[in-house]
Chains A and B, each alone.
Chain A
Amino acid sequence: MGRYIGKRLLLMIPILLGISLIVLVLIDITPGDPARIIAGSTATEEEYEQIREDLGLNDPLIVRYTRFIANSLRGDLGKSFITKRAVWPDMMARFPYTLLLAVLSTVLSIIIGIPLGVYAATNQYSWKDNLAIIASLFCVSMPAFWFALLLIQFFAVKHRILPMAGIEQWQGWVLPVVSLALGYASIISRQMRSNMLEVIRQDYIITARAKGLSEHKVLYRHALKNALIPVIMTVGTMFGMSLGGALIAEVIFSIPGLGNYTLTGLVNRDYPVIQGSVLFLSALFSIVILLIDIVFAFIDPRIRSQYVRAKRRVREGT
Chain B
Amino acid sequence: MSKPAKKKSGLSETWRQLKKNKAAVVSLFIIIAVALVAIFAPFLAPYPYDEQNTKRALEPPSEDYLLGTDRLGRDILSRLIYGTRQSLQMGVVATVIAAVVGVIIGAVAGYYGGWVDNLLMRLLDIYQSIPMFLLCVTLAAVLGPSLRNAVIAIGISMVPGFARLMRASILTVREMEYVEAAKSINASNARIIYKHIIPNAIAPTIVSLTMSIGGSVMAGAGLSFIGLGVQPPMAEWGAMISDARNYMRAHGTLALYPGICIMITVLAFNLLGDGLRDALDPRLKN
> Which residues of A are interface residues toward B (Cβ below 8 A)?
11, 14-16, 18-19, 22-23, 26-27, 29-31, 137-138, 140-143, 145-147, 149-150, 152-153, 157-158, 240-241, 243-245, 247-248, 251, 262-263, 266-267, 269, 274, 278, 281-282, 285-286, 289
Asked whether B141 is an interface residue with its Cβ less than 8 Å from the other chain, the reply is yes
Q: What is the CA–CA distance of A278 and B248 in the complex, to the nearest angstrom? A: 32
Asked whether B73 is an interface residue with its Cβ less than 8 Å from the other chain, the reply is no
Check if A23 sits within 8 Å of B138, measured CB to CB.
yes
Q: Which residue of A lies closest to B225 (CB)?
A: A145
Check if A278 sits within 8 Å of B142, measured CB to CB.
no
Asked whether B218 is an interface residue with its Cβ less than 8 Å from the other chain, the reply is yes
Identify 8 new A-B residue pairs, CB closer than 8 A, beyond the known A153-B252, A244-B130, A247-B226.
A15-B129, A18-B123, A22-B126, A22-B127, A142-B259, A142-B263, A248-B222, A278-B138
Give the interface residue-count category, chain B. 35 or more
Check if A27 sits within 8 Å of B129, measured CB to CB.
no
> Which residues of B are interface residues toward A (Cβ below 8 A)?
122-123, 125-127, 129-134, 137-139, 141-144, 214, 218, 221-222, 225-228, 238, 241, 244-245, 248-249, 252, 255-256, 258-259, 262-264, 266-267, 270-271
Task: Report the minimum CB–CB distance from B249 to chain A (whole Å).
Answer: 5
Q: What is the CA–CA distance of A145 and B127 in the complex, to the nearest angstrom? A: 25
**Residues of B with C-beta under 8 A to A251:** 226
By secondary structure, the B interface counts as helix
Check if A267 sits within 8 Å of B142, measured CB to CB.
no
**Residues of B with C-beta under 8 A to A241:** 131-133
Task: Report the minimum CB–CB distance from A295 to chain B (whole Å).
Answer: 18
Task: Report the minimum CB–CB distance from B189 to chain A (whole Å).
Answer: 28
Contact of A281 among B123, B134, B221 (CB under 8 A): B134
Check if B126 sits within 8 Å of A146, measured CB to CB.
no
Which 9 pairs, one residue from A and one from B, show the smallest C-beta to C-beta distance?
A244-B131, A18-B126, A266-B141, A146-B259, A141-B267, A245-B133, A141-B266, A244-B134, A282-B130
Contact of A262 among B134, B142, B144, B244 (CB under 8 A): B134
Check if B248 sits within 8 Å of A157, measured CB to CB.
yes
Contact of A286 among B129, B141, B214, B228 (CB under 8 A): B129
Check if A285 sits within 8 Å of B245, measured CB to CB.
no
Check if A240 sits within 8 Å of B259, measured CB to CB.
no
**Residues of A with C-beta under 8 A to B123:** 18
29 contacts between A and B (CB under 8 A): A11-B125, A15-B126, A19-B130, A22-B126, A23-B138, A26-B142, A31-B144, A137-B271, A140-B270, A141-B262, A141-B270, A142-B262, A142-B263, A143-B221, A145-B222, A146-B262, A149-B255, A241-B133, A244-B131, A245-B132, A245-B134, A247-B133, A248-B226, A251-B226, A262-B137, A266-B137, A266-B138, A278-B134, A282-B131
**Residues of B with C-beta under 8 A to A14:** 122, 126
Task: Report the minimum CB–CB distance from A9 to chain B (whole Å).
Answer: 14
Q: What is the CA–CA distance of A67 and B222 in the complex, to the nearest angstrom? A: 35
Check if A15 sits within 8 Å of B138, measured CB to CB.
no
Check if A282 sits within 8 Å of B129, measured CB to CB.
yes
Q: What is the CA–CA distance of A153 and B225 in the complex, to the nearest angstrom? A: 17
Most buried by A among B130, B133, B241, B264: B130
Check if A263 sits within 8 Å of B137, measured CB to CB.
yes
Check if A150 sits within 8 Å of B138, measured CB to CB.
no
Contact of B225 among A152, A240, A248, A262 (CB under 8 A): A248
